[in-house]
Amino acid sequence: MNAILNVSLPVFAIILGGYLAARSRLLGQGSTAALNAFVYYFALPPLLFLSMARVPLSEIFYWPYLGAYVGGLLGTAVLSLVAGLVLFRRHAAELSLQAMTAVFSNTGYMGVPLFLTAFGEQGALAPLILTVFNGAVVVGTVVVLIEFSLSKSGNPLRIFRDVGVALLKNPLVMSAAIGILWSALRLPLPKPLTNLCEILGAASGPCALFAMGLSLVAHASSGSQGETGWLVFLKLIVQPAITFWLAFHVLALDTFWAMSAVIMAALPTGALTFVIAQRYGLYVAPATQATLVSTVLSVVTVSAMLVWFGIG
């Protein structure tokens, strides 16, 4: 219980601080967009680059562990997409963000400190692997799908060209790709570069959470409560349930890795979902509300899971 409280309550407090700052009008209406732009273009890219560059590829690709996590992610994403089409009538770009909201675990800002608290330094690798995967694969896939759906060209070749150009200009995709290439080539990381990336990257989490709190004032009454509840149910219940079945019964992972996959799947929606939604001006209200609600409820659900596994 203490492990998740020590991690989740500070996260919620930062969101609350942003909400109170907007509610009391200490910060103007343009502050959300400005803060989000700082995170998107200046803080997150160094963090993603450093996360990829400093982890050897041989450690990133632990396939059974990734298989259990990705299987739970894909199964949950399919349910999200079907409901998005049939029940909530979302178009293609919004469907991508809806699925991301339902499956994108906060492995970086909650998973890593949670495992450090529960297991010490030796436990950090499990959430780091999935932080790299989420940053490189999940974010990259969502951005590609959004760019495809927003492309105004009817010519397939022009669509691919437009998407390719958009990806080359996307700081999140390119920073992750450069980091993976850096790791693959086993290039050293100069200390000044590492320090710069760590300083800027450290600002990304608090700023993204604070910006989310700011946006709550504008989006508090917008969006569907039913849709928010559905997304939170998928994130906190369905995704870890599918992952549990795959990790313990299908792939029969070692107990630590099986538990790690399930706990990572059970974490609330990461703030990066809101960052991307805000950047494209799509699905901002549901992403904000689902992230907030899942973060609050995860204090109960993840704590119960830790007790069940005998952790903390």
**What is the per-residue pLDDT for 217?**
72
What is the average pLDDT score of the chain? 84
**What is the per-residue pLDDT for 89?**
77
Predicted TM-score (pTM) of this structure? 0.79
**What is the per-residue pLDDT for 153?**
60
* Nearest C-alpha neighbor of 240 from the set 297, 288, 287, 292: 297
**What CATH number has the domain bearing residue 221?**
1.20.1530.20
What value does the mean pLDDT take over residues 66-81? 96
**What is the per-residue pLDDT for 148?**
82
Residue 223 has pLDDT above 60, yes or no: no
List pLDDT tens digits, range 184-212: 898 999 999 999 999 998 888 788 878 87
Label residue 240 by pLDDT band (50, 70, 90): very high
Range of the domain at 182: 2-309
- Give the side-chain half-sphere CA count within 13 A for 119: 19
What value does the mean pLDDT take over residues 110-123? 74
Residue 234 has pLDDT above 90, yes or no: yes
Residue 149 has pLDDT above 80, yes or no: yes
Q: How far apart are CA 199 and CA 207, in angstroms?
A: 13
**What is the per-residue pLDDT for 122?**
66
List pLDDT tens digits, range 40-65: 889 888 987 887 788 787 766 788 99
Label residue 299 by pLDDT band (50, 70, 90): confident
Q: How far apart are CA 78 and CA 64, in angstroms?
A: 21
**What is the per-residue pLDDT for 8?**
66
Top-confidence residue, 116 or 87:
87
| Widest pairwise Cα distance in the chain | 56
Top-confidence residue, 121 or 19:
19
**What is the per-residue pLDDT for 43?**
87
List pLDDT tens digits, range 268-295: 998 889 888 988 888 888 898 898 889 8
**What is the per-residue pLDDT for 154?**
59
**What is the per-residue pLDDT for 246?**
97
**What is the per-residue pLDDT for 110?**
80
**What is the per-residue pLDDT for 208?**
80
Query: For the chain, how many structural domains are there in total?
Result: 1
**What is the per-residue pLDDT for 3?**
62
Contact assessment for residue 278 and residue 33, using Cβ atoms and an 8 Å cutoff:
yes
